Amino acid sequence: MPTGARAALVVALIYLFLVGVSSLEAGIKIMGADTQERLFSAVSNPIAGLCVGILGTVLVQSSSASTSVIVGLVASGALGVEQAVPMVMGANIGTTVTNTLVSLGHVRQSAEFKRAFAAATVHDFFNVLAVSILLPIELIFKPISGIAKWVSELLVGSGGTEWKSPVKKWVKEPVGWLKDMWDQFGASGNVKGALMVATGLVIVLVALALVTRNMKALVAARIERSLNAILGKAGGLVALVVGIVVTIAVQSSSITTSILIPLSAAGVLTLRNAYPVTLGANVGTTITALLAALAASSPDSLTVALAHTTFNIIGILSLYALPFFRDVPVIAATAMAEIAVRRRVLAVCYVVGLFIVAPLVGVAILR
Amino acid sequence: MVLSFFRAGDTGLDHVVTRSVAMVSDARHSFDLACTALLSGAQPKSIADDVRETDLRINANEQQLRGELAVHISVHGPNDIGEVIGLILLLKKIERVGDHAKNILDLAESGVSFTNEPDIDELLEERRTVSGFFAEASEILAEHDGIPEGFRDRLDQMIDQIQGRIDGYMTSDEPGHQVVPRAVYHRYLKRIVANLNSAVLAATEPVRVIDQAD
């Protein structure tokens, strides 16, 4: 496909994505206060919210998609900022499942597997460590949501529960068509709301997947040049910025971090060079939720999207900028890779345990 | 470095080809220099640093470009796998040519010189022909138009000619100190020509074409 046509397609898909987020919001609103109350109480415990964030992201294999859905839920009033912040933190952990799964593809070659698994789990360990430290601090002092709320008010003002997003106007019409479509099928009340939510979810997931695929095709040569630039030569800061830029371009941290795995497995990229790129990917991926917040009508949705960005930036400033903490994920990932290469079944247990069993148990006990 | 994302430029494989052409030029430079010590009376000491630095540069480029090819596959997937395999092989062959140029220097450093030999004109002509092959190989790599007709035949003829000389030295009645250095030199020369032959083949036909009708 010619570059111009592909770029136009990406713009159209982003528009479709925004329609999906708006449809999600509209659907929840149609379902009424009862449904919103039930959703609200299901994640009232922050640890349960964190676990839902992990599970939801593992399910769709994209934190961009899951945080966009969270933004849509906040916009509809089904979730508050307090409930949503642990969920976006969970999305950060959940998104690392993709590159960990990619690393399992190298399981037959011990040396390759060791390097690949370490490069994948360094991202897991950083995100788990960041959540372990920052979630309790957030629950007590609320610095992340506080900063996000302050920035949000700077951007859209503090004028109550609604803000007039210009993007909202552009997507109003197609959302109206969706409502009319379900009306024509005779849907009403909760059924119509559920159908709007389902339609919105499908549109968000499909549009985002297509945006990612087409953006990757558009900027592949640029990604290649950037990665070549950091091979062995660049410092952590450059690698971090490359991670941010590449992830913003492809709208997916999983793409960025998964590209690193074969390079690490082959020994082209060292663990310490790959590590800051994954942190940059954490920040870069938050752009999608910010985009989604543009289609939402509540300032809270923007606050949650900004909280995701703030959490990742504070995580880097507190855990990567400080030399003591910086090495903890590297040491943990190296040790985990040593264990995994000796007992490969433990690598599978680790993936299933961290990304499925632990969050499921968390939700079951704490909801 | 981050700005490299926003700048336009060669795509990965084009960049590798451009750099590999420069590596062939470096290898030719090393070969020509090393031969001046062996055939034209240049002092090995005066050129040793240049030849060794050039060889190190060729080796470093090979390592770096192999890394870049791994990045290319990671980003683009297996679509260009044939070309990538060819380029990996090409880089290895050029690196070996550089190694053999250094071997010729080592021979000169150990005291071997053919400057005053009766067949020096023949040896110089042979060197000129081989040096010319470097230039032709560079052109073939840069132009992507396939191998010109007759080029590989000329390389094969040169390999046969050099092998004929080696066979002659192996069965010669001349004293060892006369024929052994010649046999060693010609062995290096043969490997250089054979590697150049393989390099252009790797770049133009990276994997053997399997035709079921064959």
pLDDT above 80 (res A164)? no
pLDDT confidence of B58, banded at 50, 70, 90?
very high
CB A43 within 8 A of CB A82: no
- In chain A, which residue's Cα lies nearest the Cα of B77? A259
> Judging by beta carbons within 10 Å of its beta carbon (0-12, 13-18, 19+), is residue B38 exposed, middle or buried?
buried
pLDDT of residue B8: 66
Q: Which of A23-32, A358-367, B2-11 has the highest mean pLDDT?
A: A358-367
- In chain B, which residue's Cα lies nearest the Cα of A237? B2
pLDDT tens digits, one per residue of B137-152: 999 998 878 888 889 9
Which chain A residues are within 8 Å of B6, Cβ to Cβ?
Answer: 222
* Tokens representing residue B177 in the block: 């100190």
pLDDT confidence of A39, banded at 50, 70, 90?
low
* Tokens representing residue A131 in the block: 């959540």
pLDDT of residue A61: 84
pLDDT tens digits, one per residue of A275-305: 999 999 999 999 999 999 988 878 899 999 9
Among positive and negative, which fits the CA dihedral B15, B21, B26, B30? positive
Residue B159 identity: I
Please give the interface size between A and B, counted as residue pairs whose CB atoms are below 8 Å apart.
Answer: 69
pLDDT of residue B27: 96
CATH fold for the domain made of B10-204: Methane Monooxygenase Hydroxylase; Chain G, domain 1 (1.20.58)
Write down the pTM of the prediction: 0.83
- In chain B, which residue's Cα lies nearest the Cα of A247? B5
Which chain A residues are within 8 Å of B7, Cβ to Cβ?
Answer: 225
- In chain B, which residue's Cα lies nearest the Cα of A233? B1
Say which of B5, B64, B72 has its CB closest to residue A222: B5
Q: How many Å lie between the alpha carbon of A120 and the closest alpha carbon of chain B?
A: 15
Lowest mean pLDDT among A89-103, A231-245, A265-279, A316-330: A231-245
Instruction: Give me the mean pLDDT over the A36-60 stretch.
Output: 83
pLDDT above 90 (res A87)? yes
Lowest mean pLDDT among A134-148, B76-90, B129-143, B188-202: B76-90
pLDDT of residue A35: 67
d(CA B91, CA A203): 47
DSSP string, B114-173: -TTSTTHHHHHHHHHHHHHHHHHHHHHHHH-S-PPTTHHHHHHHHHHHHHHHHHHHHT--
> Judging by beta carbons within 10 Å of its beta carbon (0-12, 13-18, 19+), is residue A7 exposed, middle or buried?
middle
- A106, A223, A225, A264: best mutation site toward chain B, by most B Cβ within 10 Å? A225
pLDDT tens digits, one per residue of A175-234: 999 999 999 998 888 899 889 989 998 998 899 889 888 988 888 888 888 888 777 666
Instruction: Give me the mean pLDDT over the A243-272 stretch.
Output: 91
Q: Do B73 and A262 touch (CB under 8 A)?
A: yes
Say which of B2, B9, B76 has its CB closest to residue A242: B2
Q: Do A231 and B76 touch (CB under 8 A)?
A: no
Say which of B5, B6, B71 has its CB closest to residue A263: B71
Q: Do B2 and A223 touch (CB under 8 A)?
A: no
Q: Do A220 and B75 touch (CB under 8 A)?
A: yes
Q: Do A224 and B72 touch (CB under 8 A)?
A: yes
pLDDT above 90 (res A77)? no
Which chain A residues are within 8 Å of B11, Cβ to Cβ?
Answer: 221, 224
Q: Do A262 and B12 touch (CB under 8 A)?
A: no
pLDDT confidence of B4, banded at 50, 70, 90?
low
pLDDT of residue A324: 84
Among positive and negative, which fits the CA dihedral A12, A14, A17, A23? negative
